[in-house]
A and B are shown apart, each in its own frame.
Chain A
Amino acid sequence: MVAGGGIAGIQAALDLANSGYKVYLVEQDAAIGGVMAMLDKTFPTNDCAMCIMSPKLVEVGRHPNIDILTMTDIQAIDGVKGDFSVTLRRRPRYVDPDKCIACGLCAEKCPKKVSDSFNQGLIMRKAAYVLYPQAVPLKYLIDADNCIYLQKGKCGVCANVCPAGAVRLNDREATQTLTVGAVILAPGFQPFNPTGQDHLSYGAHPDVMTSLEFERILSASGPFGGHLMRPSDRREPRRIAWLQCIGSRDQNRCDHFYCSAVCCMYAIKQAIIAKEHADHPLDCSIFFMDMRTHGKGFEDCYNEARHKHGVRFVRSRVHTVVPDQQSRQLALRYADESGHIQEEHFDLVILSVGLQTAVEQRRWACSLGIALGEGGFCRIDDFAPTAASRDGIYVCGAFAGPKDIPQSVIEAGSAALCAGADLSEARNSLTVHGALPPERDMRGEPPRVGVFVCHCGINIGGVVDVPAVRHYAATLQEVAYVADNLYSCSQDTQNIITAKIRAENLNRIVVAACSPKTHEPLFQETLAAAGLNKYLLEFVNIRNQNSWVHMQDPARATAKAKDLVRMAVAKALRLAPLKEEKLEIAPKAMIIGGGVSGMAAALAFSRQGFPAVIVERDGALGGQARHLFRTAKGDNVQDRLAQIIRQVADDPRITVHLNSELYRVEGFVGNFKSILTAGGRQTVVEHGVTVIASGARELQPQEYLFGQDPRVMTGLELDRRLREDDAAVAQARTAVFIQCVGSREPERPYCSRICCTHAVVSALHLKECNPDMQVFILYRDIRTYGERESLYQQARQKGVIFLRYDRERKPVVNATAEALEITVEDHVLRRPVTLRADLLTLAAAIVPYRDETLAQFFKVPMNADGFFVEAHVKLNPCAFATDGVFLCGLAHYPKPIDEAIAQAQAAASAATVLLSRKTILTSGTTAQVDPRLCAGCGVCVALCPYNAPALKGDGPFAGKAEVNPALCKGCGLCVASCRSGALRLLGFDDAQIMAMIEAA
């Protein structure tokens, strides 16, 4: 059972359901999607949130092994790991989801207007409503608090107009108990509510809004249709200010000590998008304390915002926002860096609100026996980053600490892996796989087209003359059967279609209904159920792209529907059954790299029952963790590392190859064949999936006298001395840390993410060993993100002194016999200060190995910094675009141990989805070469981003191109670029498209 239908819950549910487990996805709201569904764009790539999310929503909605329980919450969890009994309460929806066809008539006719909470109350909706247009499940509901009938007993218009009879105004609350083996909690977060923060005028003035409200304003499907306006007078703003750390890093006003980890980036994103939306120059200013752009691609985005987009960054915490009656603007008062009070006027003020766990949610967690930490987030261990305090219950997403989408998705994978591992013996025992009749051989049959035209209630039938379209279809060439249905997607109609295919011996089907994007898979299944190849279907969109958009012109809408049906029949005549290749999968994983990530991945595979092979170039396991002293939570790394190495050594399913390197790699997903070399000896490994966990290393600095003076060392060297209880360290009177050594520089623009926390942890340890030691940390921005912020606070309380410097005015280090003299300009005094230190620690950057050979072997990309590039920065952070190859650890980006382990488990979880299937089917829509026409020019080979085409090396047609259907994604780029016309895209062939063109 997965509790919470946000992006973390969705990902966990999909991972589990796709690897052979039955999943209940419990969601409090009326639809899944969570906060991500409310977002306009996602940082740092500014991808549209809904576009990247909706395929996942649809997959969950259609998954035969996921039951979505909406409007439901968990009341109690009894039992123990492997055998939980969960009590659920379902609140009334007042609409029968099995009957609702989402036509929207109830909402259209509902007389009651209420504030739309999905749009943050910026506009009104009806009391009968759907949460958002792309909601899954796309089912309406009635808001009981506002419904006139439910409040006063009169009205009931919705029940009268509903064409499907789905409204049930007598719906009641219901309780049920389900037995499950493991539970994943992903209830998400609540945005901080700044109501009551009167110094910010929130609630008192409509142009002071939260970042989530602004996100809805930016959204194309939001209250203003993506038009940038301020709510007070609907005028376009000229100046916008973002105030950071509202409800974060603030113990005075809200008792949230922690950093919310995402607000700096989303403010930058919003500023860039707002500038793009505005037709005129827009002045965007972000008021911040420390700019925390610590993730992959974040620092680039920050630099671009400053230099390319001209976003202004002001280091200050604004103390007052007051409306200015005269200018009808908002006046901001703040102290600038030199301490002078400034006043500026803005049209719109956005409060970058933090993430918090709601009070009810904290109580709920306690009632389930889940321990929470100080900040109200779930307490977890660095080495088991998704295990809750109660055995058999796992957590992921913002409930386990404030975090961004990729980190939530990673944790979801990790939680799914752990939950799956607990139940691995029961894999595939409860899942359903529809048994299909054998496919009919239709070779030699003349085409017999069946056309099914849908009324969709009155959605199509109300505008388009459906019977006329049906009559028209009957006149078309080779059309053997026509019918019109009230609801083609309903189960009974599906059965009728199946029966008709059989009875009328139809071999091409045209369905004229809604959108193939939502419904094509359903009808494809119907074809398969009738023994017809599923690719013999052609879908005509006469609802979304016809009746709904030409409501005022029924005659031309009907004519258009006829044209579209004619085009579809023309294509259908040229459809052929397509074959999906079945590939066997070698049930074994190979992991490149034997650091913490690699070992965690190997153990994860083993827990799921799959053998794993670790290839390590070094002579020992452990990677960079061998040099570390303590984690941010204070765990002794060496003790825990020794445990992990022992587990790996004792695991019969794990084989370790030390001092080994990859010599050659052949094959593709499911069937890789790798040759390893170790001391001249070769070993062949056949594996189905590959995990790249090749790690990274610490930079050897070129500055600050490193390598010239023994008192100057890197962070890892200090860790080594701390482990060895070095007397010189313990006796030092003054220790200095310099941050960002080699990071955030023009030649290495990324932030190394972990050094701020590492330095603060080390500083605290030094203070613990010797409270009289003077400790200074020279930094550019302190990036102790999330709950790590508490360490920064502790350090200041213990007397560690933090001095900020600019990259343009770096500290200068001089060595004398007695001490190191470090001169830095104090950011408060604005004067140079000289520190005399016995110990100087440099927070050296984490640099990737830039392993070009490895990248070539698996055809995976690397970014300009030398880190590997994942398939999707937000939603697929631990897989490559190349199927069957996965990524985790420092090879992806610098990260602490807990995040590395989570990513390793997530990579293993994604790979388990493949391994547990035993075979995979490729899509039938792939490119195919006619070797007689191919000139062997190699354009397709050069173009294809997936390396699907290759020139044949030997045999007949040597030198001609050949497309590997296992790698082809069916985009058709090669087909459109082939100069010999030798390539065809099955299902979207030139002849088929030409036929549609000619019939148009």
Chain B
Amino acid sequence: MCWQPKIIAFFCNWCTYGAADLAGVSRLQYPPNIRVIRVPCSGRISPKLILSALRSGADGIWVSGCHPGDCHYIEGNFYARRKFALLKNLMTYMGLEAGRLHFSWISSAEATKFAATARQVTEAVQALGPARYMVKAPIRAQAVEA
């Protein structure tokens, strides 16, 4: 079996987490590489959390929320979108592969889109190989051991 990346996914409770649940109800199959952290809103995700995930040994990050305009908290995902656009620039500047970071907007009815995006994200991260840039060797070793 080829190398399997570990991807940390931050999903908003109201849309994408619901889509992931519906994908399950619809028995749509996708690769088991993502580890989901549920948050109330994509607006809760600060760049700090994303960078921490990379530092802790994640090979990829996937953040997904409600479609812009559909936010359960009125406008949280607009702020998220702006932060993520800046973070992506920062990551490129730092020399991190932009392909490790993925954003999407998936409503709670879009199970098919969810499963397709899960596949895309996994394949994209897999193509990049294990993350090296920010990972300190001992932490990496621990993560692999665990």
Contacts and interface: CB of A to CB of B under 8 A. Distances in A.
A972 B70 CA distance: 17
A50 B108 contact: yes
A543 B8 CA distance: 18
A275 B36 CA distance: 33
28 contacts: A45-B69, A48-B108, A51-B107, A133-B26, A220-B111, A220-B112, A517-B17, A541-B36, A544-B23, A545-B21, A545-B23, A545-B24, A548-B25, A549-B23, A550-B32, A552-B29, A560-B32, A560-B35, A563-B35, A970-B40, A971-B76, A988-B40, A993-B49, A994-B52, A996-B37, A997-B56, A1000-B37, A1000-B53
B35 to A, nearest CB: 5
B132 interface: no
A483 interface: no
Contact of A997 (B4, B8, B46): B8
A220 to B, nearest CB: 5
B58 interface: yes
Interface stretch (A295-303, A725-733, A973-981): A973-981
Given A226-B112, A550-B32, A556-B32, A988 B44 contact: yes
Given A50-B108, A990-B48, A545 B43 contact: no
Interface string B39-80: 111011110110011001010000000000110111110011
B52 to A, nearest CB: 6
A255 interface: no
A353 to B, nearest CB: 23
Contacts of B108: 48, 50-51, 54
A541 B39 CA distance: 14
A753 interface: no
A307 B83 CA distance: 32
Nearest to B17: A517
Give 7 nearest A-B pairs by CB, closest first: A544-B24, A972-B44, A971-B73, A973-B43, A548-B24, A976-B46, A945-B74
A977 B25 contact: no
Interface residues on A, range: 35 or more
A973 B48 contact: no
A977 B79 contact: yes
A545 B36 contact: yes
Nearest to A994: B52
Interface in A951-987: 969-973, 975-977, 985
A515 B21 CA distance: 7
A564 to B, nearest CB: 7
Contacts of B43: 971-973, 976
Contacts, number: 160
A557 B27 contact: no
A997 B22 contact: no
A492 interface: no
Interface of A: 40, 45, 47-48, 50-51, 54, 133-134, 219-221, 225-226, 515-518, 541, 543-546, 548-553, 556-557, 559-560, 563-564, 566-567, 881, 925, 943, 945, 969-973, 975-977, 985, 988, 990, 993-994, 996-1000
Contacts of B35: 560, 563-564, 567, 1000
A988 B110 CA distance: 25
B136 to A, nearest CB: 13
Nearest to A927: B44
Contacts of B48: 990
B21 A544 contact: yes
A922 to B, nearest CB: 15
A1000 B58 contact: yes
Given A544-B25, A990-B49, A971 B30 contact: no
B28 A549 contact: yes
A115 to B, nearest CB: 20
A966 to B, nearest CB: 16
Contacts of B44: 971-973, 975-976, 985, 988
Contacts of A999: 146
Contacts of A997: 8, 37, 49, 52-53, 56, 58
Nearest to A562: B146
Given A48-B107, A972-B41, A221 B74 contact: no
B15 interface: yes
B124 interface: no
Nearest to A459: B24
A221 B108 CA distance: 11
A133 B22 contact: yes
B109 A544 contact: no
B102 interface: no
Given A51-B107, A544-B24, A1000-B8, A925 B40 contact: yes
A504 to B, nearest CB: 26
A65 B52 CA distance: 46
B83 A976 contact: yes
B146 A566 contact: yes
A48 B109 contact: yes
A126 to B, nearest CB: 14
Contact of B22 (A221, A516, A564, A988): A221
Nearest to A972: B44
B113 interface: yes
B110 A220 contact: yes
B6 interface: yes
Given A51-B18, A51-B108, A550 B29 contact: yes
Contacts of B115: 549
Nearest to A550: B32
A515 B18 CA distance: 9
A219 B109 contact: yes
A51 B31 CA distance: 25
A45 B70 CA distance: 9
B24 A549 contact: yes
B37 A993 contact: yes
Given A550-B29, A945-B75, A971-B76, A516 B112 contact: no
Contacts of B126: none
Contact of B38 (A54, A516, A552): A516
A516 B20 CA distance: 12
Contact of A551 (B6, B29, B83): B29
A975 B83 CA distance: 13
B18 A546 contact: no
Nearest to B69: A45
Contacts of A971: 40-41, 43-44, 72-73, 76
A295 to B, nearest CB: 19
Given A553-B32, A997-B37, A997-B52, 9 more contacts: A50-B109, A220-B109, A518-B21, A545-B20, A545-B36, A548-B24, A563-B35, A972-B41, A994-B52
B75 to A, nearest CB: 6
Given A133-B25, A220-B110, A973-B79, A549 B41 contact: no
B15 A51 contact: yes
Contacts of B110: 220, 226
A545 B111 CA distance: 11
A514 to B, nearest CB: 8
Nearest to A943: B79
B65 to A, nearest CB: 11
Contacts of A564: 35-36
A976 B45 contact: yes
B75 A221 contact: no
Contacts of B112: 220, 225-226
A809 to B, nearest CB: 37
A59 to B, nearest CB: 14
Contacts of A975: 44, 46
Contacts of A996: 37
B113 to A, nearest CB: 7
Of the listed residues A518, A972, A976, the one surrounded by the most CB atoms of chain B closer than 10 A to its CB is A976
Contacts of B49: 990, 993-994, 997
Contacts of A134: 22, 25
A221 B109 contact: yes
Contacts of B41: 971-973
A131 B21 CA distance: 18
A773 to B, nearest CB: 51
A42 to B, nearest CB: 12
